[in-house]
Amino acid sequence: MIPPMTITEKILARHAGLDTVRPGDIVRVDVDLALANDITAPLAIKVFHALGVTQVFDPNKVALVPDHFVPNKDIPSAQQAKGMAEFALAYGITHYFRPGEAGIEHVLLPEQGLVKPGDLIMGADSHTCTYGALGAFSAGVGSTDLGVIMATGKTWLKVPPTVRLLYEGKTGPWIGGKDLILHTIGRLGVEGATYKALEFTGETVRSLSMAQRLTMANMAVEAGAKNGIFAPDPVTRDFMADRSQEAGVFLESDPDAHYEQSISIDVTQIRPQVALPHSPDNVYAVSDIPPVSLDQVFIGSCTNGRIEDLRAAAEILEGRKRARETRLIVIPGSPRVYLQAIQEGIIETFLRAGAVIGPPCCGPCLGGHMGVLAKGERALSTTNRNFEGRMGHPGSEVYLAGPQVAAASAVLGRTGGPEEL
């Protein structure tokens, strides 16, 4: 008789060819998709060549997405992008996304139907955990590991214990996935789930859109988690319907599965959240902190760069202007998101509000380009990290929030919530 397992354990067991696994087991697993970007691919490619292999394990199961320093910001970034393009061409990589097709990898791949429920995905980017929103096991690895995965299609993993997060109740006004995950990280701490699986469940979760789930899974790593995961359900099926001809494997945790810990969260008590410098777990309700003047507001990233996020921000900005002293930067997460935002009039709303619109890419999230902060500047951002120097000068400060709080703060010129407008 097979003992009860969590969804994470079931996926790892299936990909290891085993009937059962338990936390702490070391398993060798088959990888369904290997991912790298313009920063992490060059080293992975170097490792791949050093292995002496003549082809990737499956050209349909490798995805290369230039998204961090594109359009190329300088000569080194141009060389990185060129090397990745040459590798993709030489090895017949099906899912290499050229400029104009490319967007932020963690927005692009679910949108393109490259992620399915039950998949095992490894990416040379820490926010690969995003795909757990679709009921996949997905986690970040180093470029060295990814080079080996591209050659073999396999990797070693330790089975993580699972922490169940049970969200109950109806959310209040302006509360989205970003608020739920910030509140959760505030409770767990940035090391509270180190090498654990965070399983998002409960009445509230079942009513969340896929965009909200993607936001939450994206930030599981900010609590130290190996992966974050949602059980696939009708919301997942609807999302996949026009994106992939393969439904994937719909798994869920057994009712008597073992959890290292179960945490109940009453969402009715959660108000719009903000994480203060310099940590994603330094979380408060935005109405509980003294207002802080802002030099910049950024709306975008793999956390909140989807069309639903842009709609939420545009609803706040409609008929309003950003504060004169505050820059507002908006970057759609993919070309499809950008086009849809144009068709819905969202881009016009942003432009009339005084925003700068950037091409689909990571942009200022990692202090790369198109919004780098100077010494002493403060930004409020819909991104996922606010460590010291994350978006620019080590003497700058970053506050994290959802798109509604970001839009309201841009109008106010300081930290503040939509209720103030």
- The type of residue at 331 is I
- Let me know how many helices (H) and strands (E) the chain has, helices first: 14, 18
Q: Where are the beta strands (DSSP E) in 170-246?
A: 197-201, 227-230
Query: 1 lies in a domain?
Result: no
Which residues, given as ranges, of the chain have pLDDT below 70? none
Q: Are residues 387 and 311 in the same domain?
A: yes
- Residue that is last in its domain, among 264, 292, 321: 264
Q: Are residues 15 and 115 in the same domain?
A: yes
Report field, pTM of the whole predicted structure over 0.85 = yes
What does the pLDDT read at residue 246?
A: 86
Q: Are residues 243 and 292 in the same domain?
A: no
Domain count, the chain: 2
Q: Are residues 69 and 32 in the same domain?
A: yes
Give the C-alpha separation, 104 to 98, whole Å: 12
What does the pLDDT read at residue 245?
A: 81
Contacts of 140 (CB under 8 A, 6+ apart): 122, 123, 124, 125, 126, 127, 128, 129, 221
Report yes or no: 388 and 278 within 8 Å, Cβ to Cβ. Answer: yes
Q: Are residues 31 and 143 in the same domain?
A: yes
What does the pLDDT read at residue 85?
A: 96
Query: 394 lies in a domain?
Result: yes
Give the C-alpha separation, 284 to 269, whole Å: 12
Q: Give me the domain span that covers residue 289.
A: 273-420
Give the CATH number, domain containing residue 65: 3.30.499.10
Report yes or no: 341 and 41 within 8 Å, Cβ to Cβ. Answer: no
Q: Which candidate, 198, 367, 237, 218, places its Cα nearest to that of 298?
A: 367
What does the pLDDT read at residue 242?
A: 87
Q: Are residues 243 and 311 in the same domain?
A: no
Per-position DSSP letters for 332-374, written without gaps between them = -SSHHHHHHHHHTTHHHHHHHTTPEE--SS-GGGGT-SSSPBP
- Residue that is last in its domain, among 234, 264, 294: 264
Q: Are residues 227 and 309 in the same domain?
A: no
Q: Are residues 199 and 344 in the same domain?
A: no
- Residue that is last in its domain, among 264, 286, 312: 264
Residue 112 tokens, joined = 């393109």
The answer to whether the peptide bond before residue 272 is cis (omega within 30 degrees of 0) is no
Q: Are residues 210 and 283 in the same domain?
A: no
